Amino acid sequence: MDDRAKGIRKGKAEVKANDVKADLIAVVVAMNGGGPCVLTVGQEAALPSGPFELAHRSLQSGLRGWVEQQTGQPLGYIEQLYTFADRDRIGEEQRVISISYLALTHPDKAGGSAGRHWRSWYDCFPWEDHRSGTPAVVDDLRLRLIEWADGADEGAARLDRRRRAAIAFGFDDRHWNEELTLQRYELLYEAALVEEAMRGGYSASLTPVPGKSMIADHRRILATAMARLRSKIKYRPVVFELMPPLFTLLQLQRTVEALSGRLINKPNFRRLIEQQELVEETGETTAETGGRPAKLYRFRHDILDERPVAGTKLPLARA
């Protein structure tokens, strides 16, 4: 091969090596059937996504276009979530950078679109819902994570694995922290206890823990969105993006509980809402809750102008 041919071949190799593709991925969350659901497309559990194209005016406009094209779902509130760029994150030779967004909406705003599904995010993460107490799957996870920790070659590594498992899952009398959704998933991935890890070359002889898998690393992206939203509802009133225009205080409390996977002390919650002046009475009532009519409220949008950061907190009050 002459020098010119070698140069051409080298140039093509360099172009291929530097070939980078940018995808836009949406974690679209809504309250559906009383619980938090995520919008997926296709027969497999996949988040709506598509490549960023030169014709797109911006990243956000490109994202909105792909989601509406694939699902018929218009997006309201969105915020950039995270950029995923690990070299072998989806098992392709080509480097793929995924720019993910969190979107909050209402399921009844969507038009008809084949292949779109609202799935409970607890189908993917059954260990995350503690509203009825510690899920039974957590006890199984404890045993399997201890077995994984004890399989480390060195004593220090075994102790470190046990410590990380205890912090993530609230073992050894530690408190459960609902915001550690991503850390818990990544620990299970490292321990080869989720199906996605087995696709990545871990031992196929292991049986994955309960929980619906997703394509590529979409379950990791969903875990990132869950952690972000669980944290954000404590200091910004984004929960109202998921509420209907009029709601009862009990509906608001149930929504916060469903998102966090934790129960809230009712008197403390109502006192916090009143102190922060986040809602206002409408003068209307509803009998849909059963029993005597309940007052209907609406979100006070003026609060964002009055106190854009401080004072708009919606912290979880432990029961």
Q: What pLDDT score was predicted for residue 44? A: 77
In a domain, 10, yes or no: no
In a domain, 220, yes or no: no
Q: What pLDDT score was predicted for residue 10? A: 43
Q: What pLDDT score was predicted for residue 21? A: 83
Q: Helices in 22-173 by DSSP H: which ranges?
A: 59-71, 121-124, 136-150, 155-169
pLDDT in tens, 178-195: 999 999 999 999 999 999
**Whole-angstrom distance, CA of residue 220 vs CA of residue 104:** 18
Same domain, 180 and 86: no
Question: What is the reported pTM?
Answer: 0.87
Boundary-marking domain end, from 121, 153, 187: 121
141, 183 contact by CB (below 8 A): no
DSSP letter string, 246-273: SB-HHHHHHHHHHHHTS-B-HHHHHHHH
Q: What pLDDT score was predicted for residue 280? A: 94
Q: Which candidate, 307, 232, 314, 223, places its Cα nearest to that of 273?
A: 314
Residue 226 tokens read as: 């869950």
In a domain, 61, yes or no: yes
Q: What pLDDT score was predicted for residue 4? A: 44
Same domain, 84 and 131: no
Phi and psi dihedrals of 304, rounded to 5?
-70, -30
Same domain, 150 and 110: no
38, 101 contact by CB (below 8 A): no
In a domain, 253, yes or no: yes
CATH number at residue 67: 3.90.79.10
Same domain, 201 and 241: no
Q: Which residues pair with 49 in a beta bridge?
A: 25
Q: What pLDDT score was predicted for residue 315? A: 58
Q: What pLDDT score was predicted for residue 244? A: 94
**Whole-angstrom distance, CA of residue 236 vs CA of residue 243:** 14
Q: Which candidate, 238, 251, 234, 31, places its Cα nearest to that of 122?
A: 31
Number of domains in the chain: 3
Low-confidence spans in the chain with pLDDT less than 70? 1-19, 87-94, 108-114, 200-206, 289-290, 307-319
56, 62 contact by CB (below 8 A): yes
Q: What pLDDT score was predicted for residue 6? A: 45
48, 9 contact by CB (below 8 A): no
CA gyration radius, the chain: 23
Range of the domain at 142: 126-210
In a domain, 316, yes or no: no
118, 39 contact by CB (below 8 A): yes
Q: What pLDDT score was predicted for residue 276? A: 86
Same domain, 117 and 133: no
24, 52 contact by CB (below 8 A): yes
Positive or negative, the Cα torsion across 172, 177, 180, 181? Answer: positive
Q: What pLDDT score was predicted for residue 260? A: 96
pLDDT in tens, 82-135: 998 876 655 555 678 899 999 999 886 655 566 788 999 999 999 999 999 999
